[in-house]
Each structure stands twice: as structure tokens, then as C-alpha cells.
Amino acid sequence: MKLQQYLINNYLHIPYEDFSHRASAARGILITLRNNPISQLSQSQQQDIEKAIKRISDIIDITSPKLQVSLFILDRNISPQDFSKNPVTHNVNFRRAKQLGDSRHVKLTTNEIQNYLCYALLQIEEILMEQIAKLSDQFIFETD
């Protein structure tokens, strides 16, 4: 479980607004937990991890069911605010993964993009931490 401990520690040090990086890292941690040949996961725990990986993949693919735009695409279209300048709100058009109602496209402001990304990341973190908590007795954290 040393690899997973290293990955979790690395994940916790990724800046919060590195949305794509954090989402990919969370998914990767769960994949290493699923594929660890020496872990002592029960069949139920393996199924839970598999469901968690699927849930994170779904969030990455569509960010939110009512949005249907990839988290990666949203992340590419948000930029850190330069506080030395006056804030500017931009509108960005996105093509949805699937049509919602009569709309295949959605227009979002930078604030709306940021909001969707933050809430998606909160969901991903909850999924990851829920699985890590279930396995915490298998981890041995060394202190300096």
C-alpha cells in the first residue's frame, strides 16, 4: 500500500484549482487500489471501488448531468484571475455530450464554469475519501 500512500499524499498537495489534475489523480488512486495484488479487499470492497471509479469517470465525462460538458474541456476554458486587473466575465459556448431538451449547446460565464468545476471536484473528493476511509486500516503512514 506504499504506492497508494504516496499517491494520496501527492493528491492532497495538488492545488485545488488544478481541476483536471485532481480528478485524474483521484481516479488513478482508486485504480491502483483496485489493482493492488497484495491488498486484502473483499468482493464487496472491490465492487465499491469499481463503482467509485465509474462515478468519477462519469463526472469527468459530463461534469454534471444538467451540463453534459467534459470537466477537462471546462478546465481548459477557465483561467486564474489576475487581481491586478479589473475582473472580466467572459461567456464561452460549449457543445454538450448529449442534447438536453432542445439544446445541444450551452453558454457559460467564467463564474459558472468555476462553480461547476468546484462542485464536481467536491463530489470527486467525497467519492475518493469515502473509499480511502474504508481502507484506512491497511495504510501505515510514516511520520518524519
Residue 31's pLDDT is what?
A: 94
- Confidence band (pLDDT; 50, 70, 90) for 141? low
> Does 137 have pLDDT greater than 80?
no
Residue 30's pLDDT is what?
A: 94
User: pLDDT digits over 51-102, tens only?
Assistant: 999 999 999 999 999 999 999 999 999 876 655 566 667 889 999 999 888 8
> Does 48 have pLDDT greater than 80?
yes
More confident residue, 80 or 119: 119
Q: Which three cell numbers stand for residue 88?
A: 472580466
More confident residue, 107 or 142: 107
